[in-house]
Chains A and B, each alone.
Chain A
């Protein structure tokens, strides 16, 4: 149980285009979801916290206009990287908070901007 499905698993896009990443909780309702970014051989850095039905809370230094987060339902949160540039290339991972106090993670999305 408590599975988070993240899609796509990898995406290549041209510089200047936008990319949407989806994160779905398959068998539970996720009131709170988190979005992380991970560069090669580095740790996960929290980008933002999204709460269903309200605006996301972004960490310091994360551009909210570039990384649009929507959490319109209890089972879906999306991250849209707008006007992507090569420096946005990274591994993006979503996570959902579980009611029993724990966290489950998606399988990640490898974004490559060319």
Chain B
């Protein structure tokens, strides 16, 4: 499977701070870039997704920034809250219609 490189592996942020997670991909034959949030013992839940024809998408406190030329996309969580503490995965979907996930980022938001 084509890889999606995700960083950092873990992130600790103070309440109210901004959490930033980055992902990079190799192959350009993808047109769907989602971010998922996963709590322990649960399946991943879609947070927000973007297509490469836009550079940014915002939904509430969550923003995806997409840099097509650099083959990178990032998730910004504004005003981070303790309830945001979870594992976040970026992914990419392409012509094969299957998702490939990044390695995950464990976010801890301190109260």
Residues of A within 8 A of B (CB): 6, 32, 34, 41-46, 49, 59, 91, 93, 95, 97, 101-108, 110
Contacts and interface: CB of A to CB of B under 8 A. Distances in A.
Of the candidates A49, A59, A101, the one having the most CB atoms from chain B within 10 angstroms of its own CB is A101
A49 B99 CA distance: 11
A95 B103 contact: no
Contacts of A107: 42-43
Given A43-B89, A43-B104, A46-B1, A105 B97 contact: no
B100 interface: yes
Given A41-B104, A103-B34, A105-B45, 18 more contacts: A34-B99, A42-B104, A43-B89, A43-B102, A44-B89, A45-B101, A46-B1, A46-B98, A46-B100, A95-B43, A102-B46, A102-B49, A103-B93, A104-B46, A105-B43, A106-B43, A107-B43, A108-B41
Interface string B59-93: 00000000000000000000000000000010001
23 contacts: A34-B98, A41-B104, A41-B106, A42-B104, A43-B101, A43-B103, A44-B101, A45-B101, A46-B1, A46-B98, A46-B99, A46-B100, A91-B41, A93-B43, A93-B44, A95-B43, A101-B32, A101-B93, A102-B49, A104-B46, A105-B45, A107-B42, A108-B43
Given A44-B44, A44-B89, A59-B1, A49 B103 contact: no
Contacts of B49: 102
Contacts, number: 51
A49 B32 CA distance: 18
Contacts of A43: 89, 101-104
Nearest to B42: A107
A89 B7 CA distance: 27
A36 to B, nearest CB: 8
Contacts of B44: 44, 93, 105
Nearest to B49: A102
Interface in B22-51: 32, 34, 36, 41-46, 49
